[in-house]
Amino acid sequence: MKLLRVVIFLSGLLLIGSKAFAEDLVLFETITETKQFHMAEKNKANDVGIVTRVGDVRFNENGPVIGQFYHKVSIIHVNEINQFDMREFTRSIQLPEGEIYTLMYFKGQPQKLVQKGDQFRGVILGGTGIYAGIKGTFDISVITPGDINSVHREVLHIQR
């Protein structure tokens, strides 16, 4: 019985401890450059390709630039019958004290950019520097749509 109490007590400490090392990091990202690489026939309406984007990272929407992001969106499947494609989104967020790496899969409409208010969720794969060993999830909301100067608000739910 005493051993059971000790196990329950230690389990409770582990649960509390894991929550103590969770944090949310809010970032705003502005796209400054976009490049498209088409990999299918030019005649197809839904050609599969890769889009890379580079941009600035801030702690608030109009604040100073604190880092850069680099992301790649690959169209990995086109469903012409149901008019959607599946996209893979990988990204490196370069901040002064390290980098954060993320991954997300989402369904999109062929040839269309995201719209204001669109929301997405993905996973944090890890990081470097002070972000080494992190994991978690992230949420992105589109504030200003577009290809260049598009602004996204992101909340990284980091677990250490």
* Segments making up each domain of the chain, as ranges: 22-159
Residue 27's pLDDT band, with cuts at 50, 70 and 90, is: very high
Residue 83's pLDDT band, with cuts at 50, 70 and 90, is: confident
Residue tagged 């649960």 (tokens): 15
Q: Phi and psi of 109, rounded to 5°?
A: -100, 130
Residue 37's pLDDT band, with cuts at 50, 70 and 90, is: confident
Question: What pLDDT is stored for residue 110 in this prediction?
Answer: 77
Q: Are 74 and 104 in contact (CB under 8 A)?
A: no
Can you tell me the distance from the alpha carbon of 31 to that of 18, in angstroms, rounded to the nearest whole number?
Answer: 34
Can you tell me the distance from the alpha carbon of 43 to that of 47, in angstroms, rounded to the nearest whole number?
Answer: 8
- In this structure, which amino acid lies at residue 21? F
- In this structure, which amino acid lies at residue 121? R
Mean pLDDT of 117-135: 97
Measuring CA to CA, how many Å separate 112 from each of 72, 123, 145? 16, 24, 11
The percentage of residues in the chain with a pLDDT greater than 90, rounded to a whole number, is 60
Buried b (16+ CB within 10 A) or exposed e, 47-82: bbeebebebbbbeeeeeeeebbbebebbbeebeeee
Distance of CA 105 to the CA centre of its chain: 10
Can you tell me the distance from the alpha carbon of 15 to that of 38, in angstroms, rounded to the nearest whole number?
Answer: 48
Question: What pLDDT is stored for residue 114 in this prediction?
Answer: 83
More reliable by pLDDT, 138 or 39: 138
Q: Are 137 and 122 in contact (CB under 8 A)?
A: yes
- Report the CATH superfamily, name and number, of domain 22-159: Allene oxide cyclase-like (2.40.480.10)
More reliable by pLDDT, 123 or 107: 123
The percentage of residues in the chain with a pLDDT greater than 70, rounded to a whole number, is 81
